[in-house]
Structure 1
Amino acid sequence: MRVNPVFLSLIVLSLCFGCAEKSEKSKQILVKNTLNIDRSAETVSLDLNSLDLMGETVNLDALGIVDAETQKSLVVQVVDSDSDGTLDALLFQPEVKALSEKTFKVVQRDSMSLEIEDRCYSRFVPERTDDYAWENDRVAFRTYGPTAQKMVEDGVKGGTLSSGIDAWLKRVDYPIINKWYKKELETDGSYHKDTGEGLDNFHVGPSRGVGGTAVKVDTTYYTSRNYVSWKTLYNGPIRTSFILNYATWDAAGNQISEEKHISLDYGSNLSRFEIKVNGIDTLSAGLTLHENDGEVAINEEKSWLSYWEPHEDSELGTGIVVPKGTMIGHEHYVTDKADESNLFAHLKVADQKVVYYAGFSWKKSGQFETKKAWEDYLGDFAEKINSPLEVVVK
């Protein structure tokens, strides 16, 4: 069932904001980086309640963040983070050097704000059966809905039966989802051929693709079928967020219910998965092994898994990063059954929830040229999620 996205305020502040800033009401935001790693393309979510805006006449369309030292304005996004119909969080991405801190100011402009492109974007795709697709400036993904499942069950050509996550291998930093679907469905071209922007040549089948879930009982992995409903929460310059629900499914007598809240931030190769799950105390997230000709790497200390494989005329890295203390095991699962070999991270379910990050990098995109570079990225990503930027409102 389609749900209209919540309205967002997308703001780019003018560099010359001095005359518009209401200094007597501005709040200072101290952002501290405790790691010996420079931080960028990392989202801070600021609770609007922490800004003490209640009772004031505030135009959220003109709310923004400015670097207190350089006077440089940042791109921000105001969102309804809990989907209750009220805007409640301000998102921005500061750049903070290793072991340092930076001060920002919250400002209110009198002039009209400017909208910018939704660089982080997701949508239901009814024109291509019922895909759900999402992307940012670096990567793109999709998964499959109930119509695609029914087509397979009814023997109709063109269906897909899978709850795995597909990877679209883009090599440009601008949005391609709408363009590629139009190319595939309305022209003689195809998104299966690379004409400079990338292509879809990543095979999923019944595998877990890039971060699909499964439940292991004894020696067997069980999976859900396609999602049954979707809800777009928001799109914007910093983050896209949506929810997929799945019909209750059976895992050797265990009745599993599953809801996936997925988000993707600007500058990140990894989607964030927050899974609400009932009926089991361990959930597994997987990476397809395709032809089993790649290299597996596992870092238990930092809780990440990686698979680096040859991919047609290039190479491809996939990965899963798990918050510290929640990965309770892993398995390099190889079978003779087609598309069922996966690298699994076993995740502890706490309060009916698990959180993990999953994504990929294609060598042809120019983002990560080697297996080591990809694994270094996963290691840094793990450090960052386990030691988030510290934020104080003054």
Structure 2
Amino acid sequence: MKNYINLMFKCSLVFLLFSISANAQNKSAKILVKNKLDFSRQEIVSVSGKQLSDLIKGKKEKELRIKKEGTQQYLFLQWIDYNQDGISDELLFQAEVAAKAKASYQVVFDETIPLIESTITTYSRFVPERTDDYAWENDKVAFRTYGPDAQKRVEENRPEGTLSSGIDLWFKRTDKSIINKWYAENVKKPGYYHIDHGEGYDPYHVGASRGTGGTGIWEDNKLAVSKNFVSYKTIAVGPLRTVFELTYAPWSSYQVKETKRISLDLGSNFSKFEISIDANKPLPNFTTGISLHDNKGEVKINKKEGWFRHAEKIDGVFLGEGIVLNPKLVSDAFSNISKEKDQSNLLVIMHPEENKLTYYAGFAWQKSGQVMNEADWDTLLQKQAKLLANPLRITIKENK
């Protein structure tokens, strides 16, 4: 009997030690997310650099799970390897934080917990079946721009060509991914995506304009721009963020070498443009812009808060386009009205810092249900400017 009691005691002790050890392994840290603003926020947040290495601490990233503290609500996760060396540089998850509050998330390492799969996503890809577009989207908006084959077709007077470094807009009214479907249908029936079949369509004309977010250099009352991108690199496709890079052949008298890193988060109306430039002599400025099309829309410029917008109707339906950036980067902004086709743009003149600059460009379409008029779009732009000026603050605390 005594031996039996000793055996049971030892077994209980082993189980207790195992439980403590397992608990210590699984409950490794908390992530606190702080919102300073007076409205609630649902955003993609990232853990990177030293914070990420401290969080992992030699554990396997494939075992990591995050849940909202006090619940069994596990979150969608995304790892991004920016230099594609096989080592993740950033961990993304979607945080929800009330106005002027903190939200706490529990980190556990347990690969037996199923990963949550998203029914909606971000996405981007090179599109060789439509010459060589590059297209990207999330649950709210979609964009595209044009590559070297599309440029060559124009220069050789062949069909299906587009000579433009402007950014095209695709109007969505579904949260589902549409890029693959619309291009596939367009192969079968050319012009398919220019007609609304219930999910939206592409009526937006770019031409040689800046579209929404294209770049240039403003000098001597003229805008110098690049031609089409010459190469691309897809870095991440989703579910929470898509990231890719476009490079351009040297352009203008300054022989500007330009790389655009473009990303789009789930739930956002705005693509993030991170521009890296190199030139053979100092640049007078760097410029981004929005097409004014037939000059019948309305422009609003807010240099103080750093947002700039155009509002118009296409096929009788409201569309708002906008650019948001740190107001300290802005030296001027104005409407450049031209009699030349596709040369009327709202221009935002910027001064890069160390040959780099960042801005956000996007839109909202009335039929998507997100905005109804100019006032709604202005409110969304004001909100985006506040988000940019007041990013969510992340603190990682180890469990004791």
Same fold flag (TM > 0.5): yes
Q: Aligned to 2:187, what secondary structure does the other structure show?
A: helix
2:151 aligned residue: 149
- The one-letter code sitting in structure 2 at the alignment partner of 1:233 is I
Cα RMSD of the aligned pairs, angstroms, is 1.7
User: Which residue in the other structure is 2:254 paired with?
Assistant: 254
Separation (CA, whole Å) in 2 of partners of 1:188 and 1:336? 31
Q: Which amino acid aligns with 1:388?
A: P
Matching residue of 2:263: 263
- Write the distance in 2 (CA, Å) between the matches of 1:98 and 1:118: 26
Q: Which amino acid aligns with 2:62?
A: D
Which of residues 125, 128, 143 in structure 2 aligns to 1:126? Answer: 128
The answer to whether residue 344 in structure 2 is matched with residue 338 in structure 1 is: no
Per-residue deviation, residues 267-305 of structure 1 (Å, max 9, x unmatched): 001100000012325211110001111111111111000
Distance in 1, Cα, partners of 2:303 & 2:237: 34
Q: Aligned in 2, Cα 1:254/1:95: closer, same or farther, shift over 3 Å?
A: same
Report SS of the residue matched to 2:157: coil
Deviation string for 1:298-347 (max 9, x for gaps)? 11111000100011121110000012311121121100000110001111
Distance 2:154 2:89 in 1: 42
Q: SS of 2:210's equivalent?
A: coil
Aligned partner of 2:186 in structure 1 is: 184
Match of 1:366 in 2: 369
| Contact in 2 for aligned 1:319/1:358 (Cα 8 Å) | yes
Listed one character per residue, the Cα deviations across residues 338-379 of structure 1 (whole Å, up to 9, x for unaligned) are: 011000111111111010000111111111111111111111
Q: 3-state SS of the aligned residue for 1:73?
A: coil
Larger C-alpha radius of gyration, 1 or 2? 2
CA separation in 1, counterparts of 2:86 and 2:299?
A: 44
Structure 1 residues 31, 54: CA separation in 2 closer, same or farther (over 3 Å shift)?
closer
- Superposition map of 1:367-382 within 5 A: 367-382=370-385
Paired residue total: 371
Paired residue secondary structure (2:181): helix
What's the CA shift string for 1:136-187, capped at 9, x where partnerless? 0000000000001001001111100000000001110000000000111024
Give 1:82 shift.
4.4
Q: Structure 1 residues 91, 383: closer, same or farther in 2, change over 3 A?
A: same
Aligned counterpart, 2:222: 220
Match of 1:324 in 2: 327
- Cα deviation, 1:52-77, whole Å, max 9, x if unaligned, reads 2565341x233222111334222111
CA–CA separation in structure 1 for the residues paired with 2:103 and 2:333: 39
Q: Output aligned runs, 1:283-302, within 5 Å.
A: 283-302=286-305
Structure 2: stretches of 5+ with no match in the other structure: 1-21
Distance change >3 Å, CA 272–CA 144, structure 1 → 2: same
The answer for the alignment partner of 1:166 in structure 2 is 168
C-alpha contact (below 8 Å) 2:46/2:93 kept by paired residues: yes
Question: By percentage of residues, which structure has more helix?
Answer: 2
* Paired position in structure 1 for 2:242: 240
What is the match of residue 211 of structure 1? 213
2:355: which partner in 1? Answer: 352
- Worse-matched range after superposition: 174-183 or 111-120: 111-120
CA distance in 1, matches of 2:209, 2:57: 52
DSSP 3-state at the match of 2:327? coil
SS in 2 for 1:95: strand
Deviation at 1:218, TM superposition (A): 1.6
CA change 1:88–1:188 in 2 (3 A) is closer
- Asked if 1:64 is matched to 2:65, the reply is yes
Percent sequence identity is 45
Aligned to 2:100: 99
Alignment CA distance shift 1:314-1:22 (3 Å): farther
| Correspondence 1:282 to 2:316 | no
Mapped to 1, the partners of 2:191 and 2:217 lie a distance apart of: 39
CA distance in 2 between counterparts of 1:77 and 1:298 reads: 36
Assess if the C-alpha contact under 8 Å between 2:64 and 2:111 holds in 1. Answer: no
* Distance in 1 separating the partners of 2:35 and 2:157: 55
The offset of 1:113, in angstroms, is 3.1
Aligned match of 1:39:
41
What is the deviation of 1:25? 4.4
Which is further off, 240-249 or 273-282?
Answer: 273-282
Q: TM-score, normalised by structure 2?
A: 0.89
Q: Supply the distance in 2 between the matched residues of 1:21 and 1:156 (Cα, whole angstroms).
A: 66
CA distance change for structure 1 residues 373 and 21 in 2, over 3 Å: closer, same or farther?
A: farther
Instruction: Please give the alpha-carbon distance, in whole angstroms, between the structure 1 residues aligned to 2:24 and 2:342.
Output: 59
Alpha-carbon distance between aligned partners in 1 of 2:62 and 2:153, rounded to the nearest angstrom: 44
**1:83 Cα shift?**
4.1
In structure 2, what is the Cα distance between the partners aligned to 1:30 and 1:246? 40
Distance 1:183 1:212 in 2: 28
Which of 314, 317, 336 is equivalent to 1:314?
A: 317
Counterpart of 2:273 in structure 1 is 273
